[in-house]
Structure 1
Amino acid sequence: MIGLLIFMNFTGLNITILEPDGALYAGIAKYMVQHHDYWNMFADGHDWLDKPHFPFWMMAISYNIFGFTTAAYKLPAILFLLMGAGYTYLFGRRLYGEQVGRWAVCILLTAEHIVISNNDVRAEPYLTGLIIAGVYHLYRSQRTGFNYDLILGALFTGCAIMTKGPFALVPIGGAIAGHLTLTRQWKQLFHWRWLLAGVFTALFITPELYSLYQQFDLHPEKLVFGRTGVSGIRFFFWDSQFGRFMNTGPIKGEGDPFFFFHTVLWAFLPWSILLYAAIVVFIRKRRQAVEYYCICGGLLTFALFSLSRFQLPHYLNIVFPFFAILTAHFVLSLQAKGMLKFFRITQYTIMVIMALGILVLGFLYLPILNYYALFCMLLGLLMFLLLPRWLGNGSVALVFFRTCAASLVLTLFLNLVLYPDMMRYQSGSTVARHANQYFPGVPVSYWKVNSYALEFYLNVPVERYDSAGLRQAVAEGPVLLFTTPQQADTLQQQGYNCQLVKEFVQFHISKLDLPFVNHKTRGSAVDRRWLVLALPGKDR
């Protein structure tokens, strides 16, 4: 089953990169490779200060090996997630035994937002793998004062900090310190090894600090966030972390203390109800618990994110390995008839909901089907139906692996049918492919619109013009413009000769709504983008 679930998570490898964040990150790493500059990050034609460097360095390595492709962008993230699955198995096995370790891997690889994040790749797949790896090695480092696990734990912790910032210390430190505190292992809690781990972690994040220092702190004249004198190191340690948490930094949001409570219901699907039950049972029987790493690492991070003023659904992915271990242990500990009945009813209800979701989405959206997708989905359905022959009726294992099979079918539908069809409506990537085929080597210029997907998929750099720059460029020769019909009409009125090359449909796939999903109303929900050839007018 684990092999099938690994295959399942690779099925989104070649789906077009989703805008805005995914395509933005892909373009930043592409710029690094093209300019052989791995210390500085640029986007939209200027210095970019937001995320740390580590994921972009991984993407750059992949680009150097495989080229500027969709798969090269997503592959490192998926590999880090699978590394996290491996460490989830190792940690679960150490804490609760072999079967818990294996089932925890199945739960992690089928959690809905893990699957989504392996398609819409951002920093979270990297962070998910790095955090559980750091916790595992620091847990193992308690055997002796100094050993290779301490160095590996510090290395993974440092890479996690270079992926998301110092807040990555919360789940790692929370798991280790929480367990030692609740078990009253005071000598272990205040052991000198943690000071040494901190020193090594500080050493491992020096590449990030150097990058920020030389790009921003050495150049206070640079305009960042609309002002000069911005310190990259201060932003890394404070503004990007505590500034977002308290809503005082340059990037702001609106927090809801209950946001992650209802987010987990779908993000950890099909195991979310069992997770909540596992946490309740764990707290009730906390005095009998054999470990507190998972509950402390998971709930402390959950609580911190719930108090933050800046919240996004994918933030919780990083503690899903802890949740997977807790859930697997809970399921394998079920013995009372009432709890076993609760487990069966809950999971079969969720499976029915998932099946209905596939049918409703299929008939409502009407995607273009392909035989490969249908074949894979039918194989998943066949496995679902044949599981009783292998596992027997009524067993916990049957319900568990049927849930995995149902998740497999749902993911195959999303990754092989629905998402590939939807990406036809992301105009930036479709324009880039059209321009690469019919205008090879010719730059495309933005005019009053933007598209990070166009910038990544176009084989030549995009151009950005102001009014004077466009006038000068058109005077020197025809210019390919990516714009809207309204802006093309405005240029026509200003004396340009705008010849329509092709019209493209546009919708922000990351912001799905019912009018778009419904094929009957989709036409009114999409916008239009034009690829036009701008020439001097007859009177110019």
Structure 2
Amino acid sequence: MTELTQPSPLPHRWFAALVAVGILINATGLFPPIMEPDGALYACIAKTMAQSNDFVNLYAVGTDWLDKPHFPFWMVALSFKLFGINTFAYKLPALLFFLMGVWYTYRFARLLYPKVVAQVAVLVLLTAFHGVLSNADVRAEPYLMGLIIGAVYHFWRLTPPQPLPLKKGEGLKPCRPVSPSPFFKGRGWGGVDLLLGSFLTGCALMTKGVFVLVPIGAGLVLHWLLTGQWRELLKPRWYVAVVLSFVFTLPEVYCLYQQFNLHPEKIVFGKTGVSGIKFFFWDSQFGRFFNTGPIKGEGDKLFFVHTTLWAFLPWSLPLYAGVGKAVMQLFRRFTGKSHQPLPEYVSLGSGLATFALFSLSGFQLPHYMNIVFPFFAILTAQFLVGLSPKNLRRWTVGQSVIAGLLVVLTVGLILVVRPAGMSLAIGWVAVVSLLTLMLFRQADLSTLTGRLTGAMAVFFGILNLFLYPAFLQYQAGMTAARYVNEQPDLVQQPVWLYLPGTGVGGGSFWSYEFYATGPTAYVRSDSALRQRLQRGPIMVFTEGVYADSLVSRGFGLRRLAAFPFFHVSTLTGDFLNPDTRPKTLEPYVLAEVSPR
């Protein structure tokens, strides 16, 4: 590739078709029921907010809840107001923010790269495994994905134009110099982009906390330092952006102050005098990082190295290759072996800084890295577009093998699980696979992206439309709630969720609370249960072992129905196989409890 040539964009009709397929792949996540444990818990919190019209206080299991900030719950509660309290309304806002992240990824890449890089980045982001999974098992990450890349896009447009010349025959030529905001006047403040970037940053802070400043700010700072624009750090507009970002966070601070700081008598994490504001700015973030807060985990410094290998499938190998190539180019610049800069260092800086931060943290979960998938997608796309024709053919073959293995894995899961509509599922695999092979035959970027998009359509079409519906019937609380909802003599009776102990608990109680249309409440001790029984027998939903213990402790119990339970978020081989599944199940019981 010479300085005067640009790689050709993907044909518009193919790109539009693949984007539509990618959106549909993610939209299939709207259909499976809400997954336990976290998704069901968050859905219950938003349900309480919507039903009570209390958008200030967060409650879980009938008591004050201090963990995640408010923004996602506000979005879901508003969705519940519009569409009713149901699965679709819970998941729709997350999908919209995810698609906002896809759009911003395209816009950001178009500022700096040829069109084809932006196109490939969009397709990578739409089909990366854990990104798609996050639209079925919804937590905070789809919101953060859109908010973070959106904030970076608007802040980037405040950066003065800085042409990045390339030597003839080396690497990707930027499609044009950085496009500043139309309000940018050299020494100006940035106008709309400054406000939008700060607003999105504030929303991100109200979604996850202060650590979101790392993926938003680290890449920008690294780019300025590596391109000699270090004076940007002295520009007043960036300090105004920081102030505005925290101004837009004031609704969260106000809510925490009202619920916790004004009420030091409340018992939170087993203590009184807990400051919600301190927890938001310190314990929820730095406390987890140093593992000194009330919520602890076990950190593994290599956790995200091997987790990303499967979480970013089927693009993890070109991602690692792209990151390695970018780091080597940077090393060559520092050693004087090359004067060629990258078109931008934001993607590399934000991606690696966040990767390092979470790797050093004492609290780690696989979905944490989803928030920087837009940057990973750009790095992956930059690498693939920059390949020579010979190497592109090799990568097309290699990635096609991964696509084929995904299809084989999908067929294997169908044969093992044997879900309802098994013949239809096999038909889906056959039709999509054959259509993909017929349409994409050449060793080029269209074929590479088309085959992998097809493979993910096969996998997630089966997972979300056939397998998850089969698995999620073992969320005992959900199936019990549906059972009660269908019984005219039970549906309006209060059901007490017997969950002994303190804290938010776990198990399958949250899905019952969410899906039940009748009144529900928690009872956490025998003394509280006896108090409820003073007015007569009550309906109780609880684990089988708790039900047995009630009988041994002097309560009368008449079982009405039992429901098998399994933690679907942690699948095992024995559970997948219908023949061995029964031994993995635990019973939950709906019963009438009375004083003996």
TM-score class normalised by the smaller sequence: over 0.9
Query: Which residue pairs with 1:314 in the alignment?
Result: 367
Of 399, 402, 416, the residue aligned with 2:448 is: 399
Alpha-carbon shift at residue 379 of structure 1 (Å) = 4.3
Q: What does 1:37-48 align with in structure 2 at a 5 Å threshold?
A: 37-48=54-65
Assess, with a 3 A threshold, how the Cα gap between structure 1 residues 194 and 253 changes in structure 2: closer, same or farther. same
Alpha-carbon shift at residue 341 of structure 1 (Å) = 4.5
Matched to 2:572, the amino acid is D
Query: Which residue pairs with 1:99 in the alignment?
Result: 116
In 1, Cα distance between the equivalents of 2:462 and 2:288? 36
Of 527, 533, 549, the residue aligned with 1:490 is: 549
3-state SS of paired residue (1:285): helix
In 2, Cα distance between the equivalents of 1:206 and 1:281? 42
Query: Which residue pairs with 2:162 in the alignment?
Result: none
CA root-mean-square deviation: 1.7
In 2, Cα distance between the equivalents of 1:332 and 1:397? 11
Do 2:544 and 2:586's aligned partners in 1 also have CA atoms closer than 8 Å?
no
Do 2:123 and 2:449's aligned partners in 1 also have CA atoms closer than 8 Å?
no
- Deviations, residues 143-169 of structure 1 (Å, cap 9, x unaligned): 322221111001111101110000000
Query: Which residue pairs with 1:116 in the alignment?
Result: 133
Do 1:265 and 1:272's aligned partners in 2 also have CA atoms closer than 8 Å?
yes
Alpha-carbon shift at residue 536 of structure 1 (Å) = 4.4
Assess, with a 3 A threshold, how the Cα gap between structure 1 residues 61 and 379 changes in structure 2: closer, same or farther. farther
Q: What does 1:362-377 align with in structure 2 at a 5 Å threshold?
A: 362-369=414-421, 376-377=428-429
Q: Are 1:361 and 2:413 matched, yes or no?
A: yes
In 1, Cα distance between the equivalents of 2:245 and 2:343? 29
Q: Are 1:427 and 2:471 matched, yes or no?
A: no
Assess, with a 3 A threshold, how the Cα gap between structure 1 residues 8 and 447 changes in structure 2: closer, same or farther. same
Of 350, 363, 370, the residue aligned with 2:402 is: 350
Assess, with a 3 A threshold, how the Cα gap between structure 1 residues 494 and 257 changes in structure 2: closer, same or farther. closer
TM-score scaled by length of structure 1: 0.95
Query: Which residue pairs with 1:234 in the alignment?
Result: 278
Of 18, 41, 44, the residue aligned with 1:24 is: 41
In 2, Cα distance between the equivalents of 1:493 and 1:51? 38
Query: Which residue pairs with 1:499 in the alignment?
Result: 558
Matched to 2:460, the amino acid is T
In 2, Cα distance between the equivalents of 1:179 and 1:225? 41
Query: Which residue pairs with 1:525 in the alignment?
Result: 584
Alpha-carbon shift at residue 175 of structure 1 (Å) = 1.5
In 2, Cα distance between the equivalents of 1:336 and 1:431? 58
Q: Are 1:457 and 2:509 matched, yes or no?
A: no
Do 1:273 and 1:346's aligned partners in 2 also have CA atoms closer than 8 Å?
no
Of 232, 243, 257, the residue aligned with 1:199 is: 243
Do 2:43 and 2:514's aligned partners in 1 also have CA atoms closer than 8 Å?
yes
Alpha-carbon shift at residue 200 of structure 1 (Å) = 1.1
Alpha-carbon shift at residue 480 of structure 1 (Å) = 1.4
In 2, Cα distance between the equivalents of 1:268 and 1:27? 30
Matched to 2:439, the amino acid is L
TM-score scaled by length of structure 2: 0.87
Assess, with a 3 A threshold, how the Cα gap between structure 1 residues 500 and 197 changes in structure 2: closer, same or farther. same
Alpha-carbon shift at residue 470 of structure 1 (Å) = 2.5
Query: Which residue pairs with 1:136 in the alignment?
Result: 153
- Deviations, residues 424-453 of structure 1 (Å, cap 9, x unaligned): 101011111111111211121122475111
In 1, Cα distance between the equivalents of 2:265 and 2:532? 30
Paired residue total: 533
Alpha-carbon shift at residue 374 of structure 1 (Å) = 5.6
Q: Are 1:67 and 2:91 matched, yes or no?
A: no
In 2, Cα distance between the equivalents of 1:207 and 1:372? 49
3-state SS of paired residue (2:228): coil
Consecutive unaligned residues of structure 2, counting only runs of 5 or more, are 1-17, 160-179, 334-339, 501-506
In 1, Cα distance between the equivalents of 2:23 and 2:300? 34
Do 2:393 and 2:444's aligned partners in 1 also have CA atoms closer than 8 Å?
no
Alpha-carbon shift at residue 15 of structure 1 (Å) = 1.1
In 2, Cα distance between the equivalents of 1:210 and 1:484? 38
Alpha-carbon shift at residue 275 of structure 1 (Å) = 0.3
3-state SS of paired residue (1:477): coil
3-state SS of paired residue (1:476): coil
Greater Cα shift, 125-134 or 93-102: 93-102
Matched to 1:71, the amino acid is F
Greater Cα shift, 447-456 or 252-261: 447-456
- Deviations, residues 68-121 of structure 1 (Å, cap 9, x unaligned): 101100000000000000001111111112221121111001000001110110
Percent identity at matched positions?
49
3-state SS of paired residue (2:558): strand
- Deviations, residues 326-369 of structure 1 (Å, cap 9, x unaligned): 111111111062x3344123202211221221122122222222
3-state SS of paired residue (1:11): helix
In 2, Cα distance between the equivalents of 1:442 and 1:378? 48
3-state SS of paired residue (1:240): helix
Consecutive unaligned residues of structure 1, counting only runs of 5 or more, are none
Matched to 2:369, the amino acid is L
In 2, Cα distance between the equivalents of 1:323 and 1:285? 17
Q: Are 1:385 and 2:437 matched, yes or no?
A: yes
Do 1:181 and 1:189's aligned partners in 2 also have CA atoms closer than 8 Å?
no
Matched to 2:408, the amino acid is L
Of 298, 301, 308, the residue aligned with 2:354 is: 301
In 1, Cα distance between the equivalents of 2:516 and 2:202? 34
Assess, with a 3 A threshold, how the Cα gap between structure 1 residues 473 and 229 changes in structure 2: closer, same or farther. closer
Matched to 1:443, the amino acid is P
3-state SS of paired residue (1:505): strand
